[in-house]
Amino acid sequence: MTLLGTLALWIAFLLGIWGAIAGFAGGHSGRADLQQSARHAVFAMCAVLLAAVISLEIALFHHDFNVEYVAAYTSRNLPTFYTWSALYAGQKGSLLFWATVLSIFGSLAQWLTAPRHRVYLPYVAAVTCLVATFFVSVTLFAANPFDRLPYTPVDGRGMNPQLQNPGMVFHPPMLYLGYISITIPFAFAMSALLLKKLDADWLVAIRKWTLLSWLFLSIGICLGMWWAYVELGWGGYWAWDPVENASLLPWLTMTAFLHSVMIQEKRGMLKKWNLGLIIGSWLLSIFGTFLTRSGVISSVHSFTQSPVGYFFLAFLAVAAAASFTLYGRRLPLLEAEAKLESMVSREASFLFNNLLFIGIAFSVLWGTLFPILSELVQGTKVTVGPPFFNQVNIPLGLALLALTGIGPLIAWRRASVPNLQRQFAVPAAAGSFTLLILLVAGMRDFYALVAIALGGFVTATVVQEFARGARARHRQYGEAYALALGRLIARNRRRYGGYIVHTGMVILFIAFAGMAFKTETEATLRPGESVSLRSPYGWTYTFTHLGVSQYQALNRLVTAATVEVARNGKKIGLLSTEKRQHVDATGRPTFEPSTAVGIRSDLREDLYTVLAGVVNGTEQAVYRFTINPLVWWVWYGGMIVALGGLIVMWPGGGSPAVKRTQAGYAVRLVETK
Amino acid sequence: MNAGAKFTIGAALIVGSVGWLMASGIKQTGQYFLTPSELSQKVAADPSFYDVGMKVGARVVPGSVTREVATQTLTFRIADGSASYPVTFHGLPPDTFTDSVEVVVEGRLQKDGLIHATNVLAKCGSRYEAVPKA
């Protein structure tokens, strides 16, 4: 199997090189045979890389521990589910996974692109081949998953217990799908630049792709937060870890692009900016992969001591230089067709929105790289942590939240005073009313107050938009309100799907604000003893330690401690938390003990318990109890964001040509006066 | 004043506040990240370096770890070959912390030469691979 796998990698490597040559030559000369050949190279590359993936999966399932990768990440008693996901549990496998998925996306782009956008495809094939070849060559020359060991271990080392979590099975591939799919819009951008076809046409060709990668990134980030929360046991879901930041960066620039592209479609402005965002997002996606796959910045995720980092650094440098040189040479062709007419306009609010997104992205990048930059400049490493990121990004994020409400309501070109009054009277009142209630209820945290009040404002704008749209349909077509609402969304998916995404973001912001009121305590308890913790809602929770039990499970020894929880003296249930010592098939311990968190969630708050340890030989247990307000809403908000994204992406609903002129937010009820 | 100029002012305001937030954020929250030998040099050169928040990255000295579960106190030594410091930490160390990993200790060096850690990060679990057992 390893022979077949390595052979497949070599064939993919050669096919990739050929695809790139044929694609560039075919695109340049216009020769149909070369163009066809490049297209076939993409398909063939996809087929051989799939063969390589299947070979690796077979080796994993057959427990062929002579293969170094199999021995390093699986063991005989690893559940099947995780044996399957071991494909991307390690560096080598995930590089193969990257190349394979890219070749699948590349093939889909070749296959599904509408006939009128076919002209871009030869160069698209060339760029996809080039990028995929880079990943294949890294596996071949620095990290071959098919490498064999000089001996065959009896059992593998098994997978790190922290990765044995359903969230970890779906989080990495989702994030990777997000990272990888950005290559397709990037390839189209390069193609448009090379062809000097820089009208809005290529933007139409990549619309679905940009949405797709945005959606995957969003889902991947949310799953990552969920995994960190339920698995790592430190009591939160976002730590501003370099790898978390790396996933956030392309998400920020892609989100900026999804907004600014509307200005180009509607008004022919921001052409340079949009191209820059696509190139930047792609570089950030490679950079994100690089951060995860090398150890440049000490981080809880980093893979250290491997030449892979240098490959990535070199590739990033060459790719950045090449794409920005090409971009620079085409700048004269990218002049705007219109000028900004008023500060009080949709365009201006989108521009500010973009500046904020880029500002946030820049500060996150800067903070992430600061240890390296400071070492280069000053000779000493200076690090910044969560306080820095929160201090910078909370105000910027809140400004962005305000624009989420303002942008969609303000007219294109120039908003009139009656327009502003008509649009903002109700939402502004809703926001002020929310603020008033919170103040009366006794909330005094400044940022939380602003976040929730803005949340009220933005929610009101969205409700107002849906209500007006549904009412208009009800009047015009006599549809019942529920039907009118359904059709409203179905007929104008980009606009109303976008509003649903905004609603999800509001929920996320409010949930983030809830963490300002987190409380925790640590306690060492004998059976029968208890500790109390006051929740931010004013209740008193009492945790009574019941006892410690030890037992064996599938691939681990479990030490479980249980507490009884009472709210204001009334029993509401039990919470268990475990220490797990994973063992291999022969019963020897593998890895360090890991902690399984006990969580009790409801809509208001989570009770989060961690067993820190048991005083040797006794049933005296050390706990940390945390009350995390509104955490459930993070997952709920994330699902709404994903749902909105799916609605925007859903196929059908008019041809793209029609859509372009009345795309999404472009259709305004107010403009008809 | 035309819209372009007004926008430029608005944009400059945003860019300016991002820059200001970042600069003040780094000034207020930036921490030195040192190795034990760099730390000893710093302290030798500048005696006021005690009690300053910083991070120290080093290896845990094997066999130096003592845990008191009841009081949740962890003490260990960290070293990088040429310098070594004792560390005390009150709280829950990460699962991946053992006496043979690389750690990042966040805390303050006291006058008595002891580092009072507020946070301990273990770097090894990072690779999500098992430590080869000797």
**Is B95 found in the same domain as B67?**
yes
Residue B52 lies in a domain: yes
What is the span of the domain harbouring residue B105?
31-127
Residue B132 lies in a domain: no
Which token pair is A75? 């063991």
- What is the average per-residue pLDDT within A571-599? 86
Query: In angstroms, rounded to a whole number, what is the distance separating the alpha carbons of residues A562 and A579?
Result: 12
Residue B84 lies in a domain: yes
Sequence-ordered list of residues with C-beta below 8 angstroms from that of A425, at least 6 positions apart, any chain: none
Minimal-distance CA residue of chain A relative to B103: A298
Q: How confident is the model at residue B128 (pLDDT cuts 50, 70, 90)?
A: very low
**For residues A228, A233, A238 and A240, what is the CA-based torsion angle, rounded to 10 degrees?**
-100
What CATH number corresponds to the domain at position B45? 2.40.50.140
Minimal-distance CA residue of chain B relative to A160: B128
**Is B13 found in the same domain as B44?**
no
Residue A246 CA, distance from chain mean position: 9
Residue B37 lies in a domain: yes
Q: How confident is the model at residue A377 (pLDDT cuts 50, 70, 90)?
A: confident
C-beta atoms of A301 and B126 within 8 A: yes
Among B55, B58, B62, B64, CA closest to B31: B55
Please say whether the beta carbons of A193 and A331 come within 8 A.
no
Please say whether the beta carbons of B100 and B129 come within 8 A.
no
**Is B22 found in the same domain as B52?**
no
H, E, C per residue of A248-290 = HHHHHHHHHHHHHHHHHHHHCCCHHHHHHHHHHHHHHHHHHHH
Residue B20 lies in a domain: yes
In chain A, what are the domains? Answer: 1-159 (1.20.120), 401-516+637-672 (no CATH), 519-632 (2.60.98)
**Is B24 found in the same domain as B39?**
no
Residue to mutate among A389, A392, A531, A609, with most B CBs inside 10 A, is A392
Q: Is the pLDDT of residue A671 over 60?
A: no
Sequence-ordered list of residues with C-beta below 8 angstroms from that of A40, at least 6 positions apart, any chain: none
Give contacts of A157 with chain B, Cβ < 8 Å: 129-130
Q: Is the pLDDT of residue B126 over 50?
A: no
- Give the pLDDT confidence of A427-453 residue by residue, as tens digits: 999 999 999 999 999 898 999 999 999
Question: What pTM value is reported for the model?
Answer: 0.91
Q: Order of strands across the sheet with A621-629?
A: A519-525, A621-629, A605-614, A598-601
Give the containing element (helix H, strand E) for A547: strand A540-553
pLDDT-wise least confident of A22-26, A291-295, B80-84, B92-96: A291-295
A314/chain B closest Cα distance in angstroms: 23
Mean pLDDT (chain A) is 89
Among A71, A213, A52, CA closest to A139: A52
**Is B100 found in the same domain as B117?**
yes
Please say whether the beta carbons of A533 and A646 come within 8 A.
no
C-beta atoms of B3 and A339 within 8 A: yes
**Is B24 found in the same domain as B3?**
yes
**Is B50 found in the same domain as B13?**
no
Give contacts of A160 with chain B, Cβ < 8 Å: 125, 128-130
C-beta atoms of B95 and A595 within 8 A: yes
Please report, as a single letter, which amino acid is at residue A47: A
Q: How confident is the model at residue A670 (pLDDT cuts 50, 70, 90)?
A: very low
**Is B119 found in the same domain as B93?**
yes
**Is B109 found in the same domain as B59?**
yes
C-beta atoms of B33 and A383 within 8 A: yes
Q: Is the pLDDT of residue A292 over 80?
A: no
Among A183, A284, A177, A191, CA closest to A220: A177
C-beta atoms of B6 and A343 within 8 A: yes
Which token pair is A384? 């910044």
**Is B120 found in the same domain as B67?**
yes
Give contacts of A614 with chain B, Cβ < 8 Å: 69
Residue B44 lies in a domain: yes
- Smallest Cβ–Cβ distance between B92 and the set A590, A612, A616 belongs to A612
Task: Choose the most confident range, by mean pLDDT, from A532-536, A658-662, B125-129.
Answer: A532-536
Does B119 contact A at CB distance below 8 Å? no
- Give the pLDDT confidence of A551-582 residue by residue, as tens digits: 988 788 899 999 999 999 999 999 999 988 88
Does B11 contact A at CB distance below 8 Å? yes
Question: How many domains does chain B fold into?
Answer: 2
For residue B52, the SS3 value is coil
What percent of chain B is modeled with pLDDT above 90? 20
Residue B133 lies in a domain: no
Query: Judged by CB atoms within 8 Å, which residues 78-97 of B form the interface with A?
Result: 91-92, 94-97
Backbone angles phi, psi at A198, to 5 degrees: -110, 25
C-beta atoms of A524 and B70 within 8 A: yes
Task: Choose the most confident range, by mean pLDDT, from A407-411, A465-469, B90-94.
Answer: A465-469
Residue to mutate among A75, A300, A341, A377, with most B CBs inside 10 A, is A300
Query: In angstroms, rounded to a whole number, what is the distance separating the alpha carbons of residues A200 and A329?
Result: 19
**Is B51 found in the same domain as B107?**
yes
**Is B39 found in the same domain as B13?**
no
- Cα A653 to Cα A204, A251, A477, A616: the distances in Å are 15, 26, 19, 66
